[in-house]
């Protein structure tokens, strides 16, 4: 029943979103504010209000006025982003949209049910999300630009903790520190040869005049870029894996196809679209070697042997991780897993991948799991893993000793808000802003919206 309610709520929110989009194309909407060159429509606020109600928003004041001011702030940031030429790559937007739509699909059941519900193709649903996501990402990037110079010292954090009233310290839920040993099943040479032969065939076809983008749509296994003809969008070198970046940034001829490039994702060929300084736009075709059952069994057996060495105390988990783990990000730290959301070694239950969470339920502090299978969704690679519960911290009030990084984050967030507040107040005074008289009586947090 709870799952049904969750899905129904999600779909209702989505329905409202699409109804508003469609309504805007069929009727004349009402502009209720202009910030710089950006207008706020009445339907924007009505949509956000309905969605907030669906999601159970509990706001003490006038919710519509609150949402209206948030929209004003968003447009102020967007206006500055346009003035400062702040950009987000098309590939970044598409990836974010893909993540959202995949979440919708996971909630309703499958792609066909989502398409049936909205009477739209998956491509149309994604297109409906594109502009909203692009705007959100631009405003977020502008906020990051405004607050990029914030830096706190250990002394700042200690002082912040001392000055916090004890009843203001947050409750920290149960947290887990985890270690892992990761093995990838081996790809046999015959399969590598097959993939390379396929890519060489594509190289030959392009050299003979066939369109690279068409081949990418038909054959590339990078689903995020394949629908765009393999185009990745403008990216700095740091956003690409080193092996890929090294080849792409050395390409000069836009008609040529690169040599075959091996990365942790598979095998690629690349075509240059354009380059501007240290940013590049290129297409690629990715083919991932297939794993056979024998390789899977061998990887699992190897991991069982490693587990036996640890159980027999022939070596520690940390030594085994350093010697055998194929996860380059964790092996040098004894298999210590890092939470990608917080950048720390601590995870809350909701932040742990499902496959790992399942194994964790059977472990006490200091215990190690049996070997288990897990798909690395980011890389699309099969893995076998050992998991160790290094530490489990019960719920507690935040303390300097146990939660230093949490307190650092709290202080940084407080400083970011203060910096952003000052920026908003300054920009209100030198940005063209006009507000419909029906909305001027809102009790705004920032009083300078109406000064002209």
233 shares a domain with 134: no
Question: 4: burial class by Cβ within 10 Å (0-12, 13-18, 19+)?
Answer: exposed
At residue 363, the pLDDT reads: 95
At residue 452, the pLDDT reads: 52
Q: In terms of pLDDT, which residue wins out, 357 or 341?
A: 357
At residue 28, the pLDDT reads: 53
Contact 184, 382 (CB under 8 A): yes
Beta strand 381-393 with 261-263 is unpaired
24 shares a domain with 137: yes
243 shares a domain with 181: no
The number of beta carbons lying within 10 Å of the beta carbon of residue 319 is 14
Report if residue 155 sits inside a domain. Answer: no
pLDDT, average across residues 131-156: 92
429 shares a domain with 346: no
What are the pLDDT digits (tens) for 342-355?
888 999 999 998 89
Residue 144 token pair:
């990051």
Nearest to 6 by CA among 118, 107, 125: 107
Nearest to 427 by CA among 164, 75, 88: 75
Report if residue 384 sits inside a domain. Answer: yes
| In the predicted structure, residue 409 carries a pLDDT above the cut 70 | yes
pLDDT, average across residues 25-44: 82
Distance of alpha carbon 134 from alpha carbon 90, whole angstroms: 8
**Reported confidence tier of residue 101, pLDDT bands at 50, 70, 90:** confident
pLDDT, average across residues 414-420: 95
Helices (H), 268-353: 293-311, 317-324
Distance of alpha carbon 66 from alpha carbon 64, whole angstroms: 5
204 shares a domain with 180: no
Report if residue 404 sits inside a domain. Answer: no
144 shares a domain with 73: yes
- Domain final position from 287, 314, 346: 287
Report helix, strand or coil for 38: strand
Report the side by side order of strands in the sheet with 261-263: 235-236, 279-287, 266-276, 261-263
Domain span at 435 = 2-150+413-449
pTM above 0.75, yes or no: no
Question: 261: burial class by Cβ within 10 Å (0-12, 13-18, 19+)?
Answer: buried
**Reported confidence tier of residue 48, pLDDT bands at 50, 70, 90:** confident
**Reported confidence tier of residue 26, pLDDT bands at 50, 70, 90:** very low
Report if residue 161 sits inside a domain. Answer: no
Report if residue 406 sits inside a domain. Answer: no
CA angle, 283 as apex, 280 and 286 as ends, to 5°?
A: 125
Distance of alpha carbon 306 from alpha carbon 349, whole angstroms: 27
How distant is the alpha carbon of residue 100 from its chain centre? Answer: 10
318 shares a domain with 250: no
Q: What is the mean pLDDT of the chain?
A: 88
Which CATH number belongs to the domain containing residue 73 in this structure?
Answer: 1.10.4030.10
Report if residue 434 sits inside a domain. Answer: yes
What are the pLDDT digits (tens) for 318-346?
999 999 999 988 999 999 999 988 888 99
At residue 24, the pLDDT reads: 44
225 shares a domain with 94: no
- Domain final position from 230, 256, 287: 287
**Reported confidence tier of residue 123, pLDDT bands at 50, 70, 90:** confident
Report if residue 221 sits inside a domain. Answer: yes
318 shares a domain with 237: no
3-state secondary structure the chain: CHHHHHHHHHHHHHHHHHHHHHHHHHCCCCEEEEECCEEEEHHHHHHHHHHHHHCCCCCCCCHHHHHHHHHHHHHHHHHHHHHCCCCCCHHHHHHHHHHHHHHHHHHHCCHHHHHHHHCCCHHHHHHHHHHHHHHHHHHHHHHHHHCCCCCCCHHHHHHHHHHCCHHHCCEECCEEEEEEEEECCCCCHHHHHHHHHHHHHHHHHHHCCCCHHHHHHHHCCCHHHHCCCCECCCEEHHHCCHHHHHHHCCCCCCCCCCCCEEECCEEEEEEEEEEECCEEEEEEEEECCCCCHHHHHHHHHHHHHHHHHHHCCCCCHHHHHHHHCCCCCCHHHCCECCCCCCCCCEECHHHCCHHHHHHHCCCCCCCECCCEEEEECCCCEEEEEEEEEEEEECCEECCCCCCHHHHHHHHHHHHHHHHHHHHHHHHHHHCCEEECHHHCCCCCCCHHHCCC
Strands (E), 115-265: 171-172, 175-183, 235-236, 261-263
Which CATH number belongs to the domain containing residue 228 in this structure?
Answer: 3.10.50.40
304 shares a domain with 245: no
**Reported confidence tier of residue 214, pLDDT bands at 50, 70, 90:** very high
What percent of the chain has pLDDT above 90? 63
Q: How many domains does the chain have?
A: 3
- Domain final position from 287, 321, 341: 287
Task: List, in sequence order, every residue forming a beta bridge with 172; answer none if it has no partner.
Answer: 396
182 shares a domain with 313: yes
382 shares a domain with 237: no
**Reported confidence tier of residue 138, pLDDT bands at 50, 70, 90:** very high
The number of beta carbons lying within 10 Å of the beta carbon of residue 162 is 8
At residue 402, the pLDDT reads: 87
| In the predicted structure, residue 147 carries a pLDDT above the cut 90 | yes
The set of residues, in sequence order, having a beta carbon less than 8 Å from that of 379 and lying 6+ positions away, is 264, 265
Report if residue 403 sits inside a domain. Answer: no
């Amino acid at each position: 029943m709870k799952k049904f309610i969750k899905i129904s709520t999600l779909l209702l929110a989505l329905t409202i979103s699409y109804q508003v989009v469609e309504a805007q194309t069929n009727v004349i909407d009402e502009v209720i504010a202009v910030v710089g060159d950006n207008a706020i429509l009445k339907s924007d606020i009505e949509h956000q209000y309905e969605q907030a109600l669906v999601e159970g928003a509990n706001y003490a004041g006038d919710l519509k006025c609150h949402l209206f001011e948030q929209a004003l702030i968003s447009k102020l940031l967007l206006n500055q982003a346009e003035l400062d030429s702040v950009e987000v790559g098309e590939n970044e937007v598409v990836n974010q949209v893909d993540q959202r739509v995949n979440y919708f699909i996971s909630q309703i059941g499958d792609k066909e049910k989502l398409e049936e519900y909205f009477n739209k193709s998956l491509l149309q649903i994604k297109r409906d999300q594109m502009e909203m996501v692009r705007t959100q990402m631009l405003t977020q990037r502008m906020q990051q630009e405004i607050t990029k110079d914030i830096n706190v010292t250990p002394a700042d954090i200690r002082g912040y903790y001392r000055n916090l009233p004890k009843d203001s310290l947050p409750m920290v839920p149960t947290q887990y520190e985890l270690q892992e040993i990761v093995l990838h099943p081996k790809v046999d040479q015959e399969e590598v040869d097959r993939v390379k032969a396929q890519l060489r065939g594509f190289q030959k076809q392009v050299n003979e005049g066939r369109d690279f983008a068409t081949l990418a749509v038909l054959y590339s296994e990078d689903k995020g870029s394949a629908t765009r003809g393999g185009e990745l969008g403008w990216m700095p070198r740091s956003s690409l894996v080193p092996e890929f970046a090294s080849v792409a940034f050395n390409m000069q001829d836009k008609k040529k196809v690169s040599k075959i490039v091996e990365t942790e994702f598979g095998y690629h060929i690349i075509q240059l679209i354009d380059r501007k300084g240290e940013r590049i736009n290129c297409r690629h075709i990715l083919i991932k070697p297939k794993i056979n059952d024998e390789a899977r069994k061998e990887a699992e057996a190897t991991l069982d042997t490693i587990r036996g060495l640890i159980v027999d105390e022939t070596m520690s988990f940390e030594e085994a991780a350093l010697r055998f783990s194929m996860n380059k990000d964790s092996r040098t730290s004894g298999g210590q897993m890092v939470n990608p959301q917080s950048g720390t070694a601590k995870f809350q239950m909701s932040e742990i991948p499902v496959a790992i969470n399942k194994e964790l339920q059977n472990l006490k502090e200091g215990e190690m799991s049996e070997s288990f299978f897990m798909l690395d969704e980011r890389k699309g690679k099969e893995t076998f893993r050992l998991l160790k519960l290094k530490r489990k911290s019960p719920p507690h009030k935040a303390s300097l000793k146990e939660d230093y990084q949490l307190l650092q984050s709290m202080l940084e967030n407080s400083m970011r808000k203060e910096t952003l507040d000052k920026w908003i107040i300054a920009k209100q005074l030198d940005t063209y802003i006009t507000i419909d008289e029906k909305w001027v009586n809102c009790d705004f947090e920032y009083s300078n919206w109406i000064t002209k």
